[in-house]
Structure 1
Amino acid sequence: MEMERVTEFPFSNLDRRPRKRARLGWDVPQVPKAQVGLFCGQEVGNVTSFAPPRAPSDHVTSSSLFVKGLARNGSPPWREDDKDGHYMFALGENLTSRYKIHSKMGEGTFGQVLECWDRERKEMVAIKIVRGIKKYREAAMIEIEVLQQLAKHDKGGNRCVQIRNWFDYRNHICIVFEKLGSSLYDFLRKNNYRSFPIDLVREIARQLLEFMHDLCMIHTDLKPENVLLVSSEYIKVPDYKSSSHTPKDSSYFKRMPKSSAIKVIDFGSTTYERPDQNYIVSTRHYRAPEVILGLGWTYPCDIWSVGCILVELCTGEALFQTHENLEHLAMMERVLGPLPQHMLKRVDRHAEKYVRRGRLDWPEGAASRESIKSVMKLPRLQHVDHSAGDLTHLLQGLLRYDPTDRLTAREALRHPFFTRDQLRR
């Protein structure tokens, strides 16, 4: 709900308005059409183990749609999925007899998220409808298991999104969640990519690090899209960096969330710590150097992602906007300094092409002049300096190249960026 009354906001450090940018996505290979499956599911109350879905079938029998007490008019006519395996729907239709589709909230690699009315609990919920593709169905079942495990440890539901229910409908795993506010990325986008005040960044950073410290798992895909504000309410505050505009001009104001409370979502790629994890994880802009270089990864890869998120909240722009590995590594060196020799010497065979004579093959190996220019225009890390340098110093610890030297979540929470603020209060 938007409040038109403009009030002074108790955050004084407001950043310049960044240039607007297009979002860069995760590269997804083409996949075959999905098969049609059966319906099964389970309410998630007191967390228990779940029953895996039955094998998909090429057709839906009438009896398969009437389990769990579904009414005969509860489901819409069957439609084929689209070419990428997404569920096809119309607003106002039922998703089983319990849920009525109200609106589409978003779409991603995994599938779609719909806002639905839960007739049984009399509340709006968010339902993640996973693409009808085997690998995404399998990831969804992993996510359900992880969410149920997390619910045992997160009794108050304060850190990660709460699962309400799940079911398998027409070969689509559907996971029912509590309805939250917008993601940090969507909030930035709707705010014309104007940065968050430093005090708000501090509270978000504190919650992310507390979440990671308590998780005992590796999320592997932390990014602004996967961090949601709990509340959708906001207020409008004067944007003092837009001094050339008058108060009557809408660009003179920017939105600020009324609450700093956040929750983390999307646990489909979450894993437990194991040695020798070498496959590629994380969305490009938030991917740690050890992942790109094929050196193996564990908990610190999430810490790197948090550092990238905090820079984005402070500047309004992703720190590393690129689609290509060598350019990505060159951007890291531009912002953070040279990559350590001992890391470059241990790169796996897939990353050897990025290294030449003991150093990064840059700019010699650049794909184009435009690529070199995009690296050269990046500022050093000190350009996000706030709060007497405390934030910059914290970021330098979160974005250390060597994962063994990177700050842990516990160490980061003891950093002066957080403790000095507590002393002031």
Structure 2
Amino acid sequence: MVFPAQSREFSMGKQIKLKRRGKGGMLYMVRHVPVDYRGVEPRKEIWVPLSTDSESHAQQKAAQVWEKTIAGWEAKKAGDTADAEKAFEAAQNLAKARGYRWLTAREVAKLPREELLQRVEAVSVRKGEPDKLEAAALLGGAKEPPITVTRALALYWELAAENTRGMSEDQIRRWKNPRIKAIGNFVAVVGDKVLADLTRDNMLDFRDWWSKRLATESLTPNSANKDIGYVESTLRLVEEKKRLGLALPFGKLTFKEDDDKTRPPFSDKWIKEKLLASGALDGLNKEARAVLHAMVNTGARPSEIVGLLPHHIRLDHNVPHIEIKAEGKKTKNKQSKRVIPLVGISLEAFRQFPEGFPTYRFKDKISDTVNKFLRENGLLETEDHSLYSVRHSFEDRMLRAKIDERIRRDLMGHGLGGRQRYGDGASLNEAAELLTAITF
């Protein structure tokens, strides 16, 4: 490109200059190409149009344009490789750096004529030859590598992103970890195979591996079934969303599970004489102790209690209560959104911590902390009891008090067994009166 001799120059430091093409013409950013990028950019100096004749506007845009230029060169360097997966990722990044959405060659061919020509014209031409890396990025020439099991997991996070809507950072971590572990186990057994090459024997080998673990380790069939389920659901979603047209050979792989081992409730006597006995919980930190007390007369899940934000705790209301809702985190299900009146020791717990429990908020550690303390101090009624048993005790007390099923389900955050939910249910006043009769 040739610029007239009368081009005017504006200095922006030692490295970046602005030059105008002709009197009153558009401004260009002019900069020497760093040595590190000479392998992908043969010019020693580049002129980049800034699409403005305003000096102040050009100065504002220049830094951002330079960053995108650098990003483009970085992507081209990364794409200059024999690694198909890295080359494909680099092509996607280069398209983004140039301001285009990555499309396959087939999708590019279907673009309106004007958009297609824009992409073609954006590909640099050197000595009559188009830049291969730019063409691969902007015109969809880069070939997507086969999807292996581990690449499927990487794709899964984006394809299943809607599942994390409303989750806290810690909830997302806990959502990801079981899949990472399951896929890691699967790859360790059968290898990081391309999805199209997976066989029924691979699946049975994975099941056999789990069968041996169940026979030699203290693991339940539920552990194996969860692992198998995470692998299957991950690979099936990727296969479906990427339209691979594969018949993944899963079939029947799960193990027969033992009878469900639900956490038994603490007896009223145990709660009164052990958990709430004077000094029984003194060795537990104050927040964790208050969380246990908060559960006694609310039946709320530990994660719901610690996830409460200050404005969810309404002690100034004529009926003090907590509001459990999806804010900063995701509730377990639609029915979990609810209000629960505060009475007895649970009310006192929130009066001690009116702002909630920041030490444990959105963190997966309250149950471990309390259960460890209860176990080490002989405060578990049986080996099968846990902090969650406090919630079950609350439900049992409501049942024995003959509190209406609809009210019990509303307070516990349970569904109505498939029935439609009509009306508002019991008022806060009514619910508080019912709970006062069974409170600790």
Higher RCO, Cα 8 Å, sep 6+: 1
More strand by share: 1
TM interval, shorter chain, is: under 0.3
- TM-score under structure 2 normalisation? 0.22
- TM-score under structure 1 normalisation? 0.22
Highest Rg: 1 or 2? Answer: 2
More helix by share: 2
